Chains A and B, each alone.
Chain A
Amino acid sequence: MNQRPMTARQLGLCACHTCGLLSKWERGHVDLTCPRCRSHLHLRKPDSIARTWAFLIASYLLFLPANLLPIMHTNSLFGAQSDTIMSGIVYLWVSGSWHLALVVFIASILVPSAKLLALTFLAVSVQKRSQWDPIQRTNMYRIVELVGRWSMLDIFVVSVLVALVQLQSLATIRAGHGAVAFGAVVVLTMFAAMEFDPRLIWDPQDDAS
């Protein structure tokens, strides 16, 4: 087919998210429900950009304490210490486990910040109805979504340690406030990615044609 592919929106069609029924819709109407299961029908995720922004801003707000406050307090035979994510990485690095330091750095600093920046870029580009390389941007979104659930490495390590090393008199580990903030950042960026509607990347192309 030489004809340019049509989208459901262009055909005036909308699929129900709940029961999958395809139904016609009239332009101008915003609040529609599925004729079969009465679920709300949305052509695009409602307020997608606004919600994405809300989660992104929340993530940014917590990203600072997540990196500045200690994530873990350890108290053992070898003394007590409080580690922020960065001091943990530095400790791993100087104690010779540079590969572990690299893993933690990528998982806990690089990935979350890259994710935040990528989502911000996507949200901005969509809001400005940019037509720049939608394929690239879609790929970017795909990676952000894929990587999201794996960026909880620190929280995972801390929770495993806290659970395992409660040998009381010998050593105690407590999660610090940083862990709360860090966990919140990871969850909030996941939500931000979830709320972002990638179809919006393509809409300016369709409208322009």
Chain B
Amino acid sequence: MTKQTADANIDHLPEARVERKRGRTVPAVWLIPIIAALVGGWLVVKGILEKGPTITVTFKNAEALEAGKTKITYKNVDVGEVKSIKLSPDREGIVVTAELVKDAASYLVADTRFWVVRPRIAGGQVSGLGTLFSGAYIGMDIGKSATEQREFVGLEVAPIVTADVPGRHFVLHAETSGALQIGSPVYFRQEAVGTVVAHELNKDGRGVTFNVFINAPYDRYVTSDARFWNSSGIDVSLDAGGIKVDTQSIAAILIGGIAFESLQGSTNQAPASEDQEFFLANTRAEAMKRQDVMSRPFVLHFAKSLRGLSVGAPVEFRGIVVGEVKSLNVEIDDSFTSIRFPVYVDIYPRRLLNLVRGEGPTMAMDEASLRTRWNGMVAKGLRGQLQAGNLLTGQLYIGVDFFPDVPAAHIDWANTPPDFPTISGGFEEFEGTLSSIVKKIDSMPLNDIAADVRHNLKALNRTLDSADRFIRGMDQVSPTAKSALDEARKTLKLAERTLSTDSPVQYELQETLRELGKTAQSLRLLTDYLERHPESVIRGKKDGDR
């Protein structure tokens, strides 16, 4: 295109139309940054608002935990996420910092608990299998406390019972933990109604304390005099009714179990209060026998040998068991002149005091009134005494009874355990008498007597001979007298035969006595053996055992 044509074309161009002037307005385009500011602000505010509370939980180790991935769940709902994992300042564990959802603030109270859920096989139960696929997560149990908290110490194992499960906790004291472990079931009439949630050795090393949780509504069957016993294993008992086998379930045999029942005919059937303490007996029979949780230790000092008295032997008041022998000992004083035999017993005061007419379990049981009662009874002559339980087996037991004429004594409360007065007698006395008889027999001049007797017999013989001659001399005088003498001679001969050692009567008597002795001995062997091998009642005697 040349310049000319361009110029020419410009001349021919149309004029643009002039519009009427529009008023200047704020350009609508400025709305855009305003909207952007609003949107951006809203996004940021929303981000901040959605940010929930941050907590820290301390665990022993960080196994299976991962920052930015591990979730915190409550009832399988994700309520938070682990943000970072650091070594704790004391290097004892790790500190997990986690951010929870906004609503979670109210869950974070003092008794809220956290634990790591990993696949776990324990207590006969498999748990957390889902975590094999999803990875571990942190479980949470919301507490009931009102105090807010942001720093927690994580549990090493998942709690068996979470705070939202209705029911009650009880405390059981036992001598050994047996097969029981966390998660072992608690049975009521062979129904699993609870679980063992914790157990630990007592601080003093004597016994084990269990914490059991009984689910509602079964917790109301735990009455204040409920009896708990360890139902792990098989309880075989032999009584007049035959052999009785008592077990709760296969699970109880495998992983242990506890059973409980309320005492039949008891007046105290009110539901037990939370955390009430009970004794955990080893067998049902023991549980039913044991009247009291409250036992009072005493020591009884005896002067004579305790042979025949064993741990577990009863303390009886006229046939009623009021206690149990816990241990035996020997004490020799420094000068080796006197030997004492202390017997440590547990007496269940409620049992003994319940025997007092007109007073029931309602009676005050505080320490002061208890001591007053004990002191009163001792003043009336209550004493402990070693008594023979079974002459055949030689078992002894401790009897307590009132002896009105004994010299005054008192319980030495200053001693631990208190020293309970004793008297000799009972078996001791019997033994004493026996030995004094033996002594007397011993001290008899038997040989002299025997010589005398022989001498007298010879004399008698001579007398008889001379009498014989004399009688023969006067045969005709008195035939009647002669026949009387003959009779007397015959009788004497018979008596002689009877008394001679090889006479049949003597032999039979000895034989009977020997048999009796053998029977007694084998009976004692049998009881000994049964005591050591109770299972032989079922399995029979093993060849190796003798």
Contacts and interface: CB of A to CB of B under 8 A. Distances in A.
Contacts of B29: 47, 50-51, 54-55, 195
Given A79-B68, A79-B134, A191-B32, 7 more contacts: A25-B15, A29-B16, A31-B20, A35-B17, A55-B29, A57-B36, A79-B70
B44 A65 contact: yes
Interface in A35-91: 35-36, 38, 40-41, 47, 50-51, 54-55, 57-59, 61-62, 64-65, 68-69, 77-81
A80 B20 CA distance: 63
B66 A24 contact: no
B19 A33 contact: yes
Interface in B19-61: 19-22, 27, 29-30, 32-33, 35-37, 39-40, 43-44, 46-47
Nearest to B14: A35
A37 B19 CA distance: 14
Interface string A175-187: 0010011001000
A57 B33 CA distance: 6
A22 B47 contact: no
Contact of A33 (B16, B36, B46, B134): B16
A51 B27 contact: yes
Nearest to B133: A77
A24 B9 CA distance: 11
Nearest to A53: B33
Interface of B: 10, 13-22, 27, 29-30, 32-33, 35-37, 39-40, 43-44, 46-47, 66, 68-71, 78, 81, 133-135
Interface string A19-37: 0011111100111111110
A154 B13 CA distance: 51
Residue picked from A30, A50, A58, A177, most chain B C-beta under 10 Å: A58
Contacts of B18: 26, 29, 31-32
A140 to B, nearest CB: 23
Contact of A23 (B16, B32, B39): B16
Contacts of A79: 66, 68-71, 134-135
Contacts of A69: 43-44, 47
B20 to A, nearest CB: 7
Nearest to B31: A54
B40 A34 contact: no
Contact of B22 (A31, A54, A61, A64): A31
A153 B179 CA distance: 64
Nearest to B47: A69
Contacts of A59: 36
Contacts of B68: 79, 81
10 pairs of A and B residues whose beta carbons are closest in the complex: A58-B36, A79-B69, A31-B19, A57-B33, A32-B16, A58-B33, A23-B16, A65-B43, A54-B29, A35-B14
A83 to B, nearest CB: 10
Contacts of B30: 50, 54
B405 to A, nearest CB: 86
A93 B529 CA distance: 78
B36 A184 contact: yes
17 contacts: A24-B13, A25-B15, A29-B16, A32-B19, A40-B19, A47-B29, A51-B29, A54-B30, A65-B40, A65-B43, A65-B47, A69-B43, A69-B47, A177-B43, A180-B39, A180-B43, A184-B39
A188 interface: yes
B145 to A, nearest CB: 30
A6 B258 CA distance: 106
Given A23-B16, A31-B18, A181 B40 contact: yes
Contacts of A164: none
B39 A22 contact: no
Given A50-B27, A65-B40, A23 B134 contact: no
Contacts of A25: 15-16
B14 A21 contact: yes
Contacts of A177: 43, 46-47
Contacts of A51: 27, 29
A69 B51 CA distance: 12
A69 B47 CA distance: 7
B15 A35 contact: yes
A79 B65 CA distance: 11
Contacts of B36: 57-59, 61-62, 184, 188
A81 B71 CA distance: 10
A58 B32 contact: yes
B16 A24 contact: yes
A157 interface: no
A146 interface: no
A40 B69 CA distance: 58
A177 B20 CA distance: 46
A61 B37 contact: yes
A135 interface: no
Nearest to A188: B36
Contact of B71 (A23, A61, A78, A80): A80
Contacts of A80: 69, 71, 78, 81
B13 A23 contact: yes
A13 interface: yes
A13 B40 contact: no
B33 A54 contact: yes
Contacts of B35: 58
A94 interface: no
B32 to A, nearest CB: 5
Residue picked from A24, A34, A59, most chain B C-beta under 10 Å: A24
Contacts of B44: 64-65, 68-69
Nearest to B38: A61
Given A24-B14, A81-B69, A188 B40 contact: no
B404 to A, nearest CB: 84
A62 B18 CA distance: 41
A13 B81 CA distance: 66
Nearest to B69: A79
A184 B243 CA distance: 86
Contacts of A47: 27, 29
Given A62-B36, A79-B70, A24 B15 contact: yes
Contacts of B15: 23-26, 35
A38 to B, nearest CB: 8
A29 B19 CA distance: 9
A190 to B, nearest CB: 13
B96 to A, nearest CB: 15
A33 B17 contact: yes
Interface string A160-177: 000000000000000001
Given A25-B16, A33-B16, A80-B71, A11 B10 contact: yes
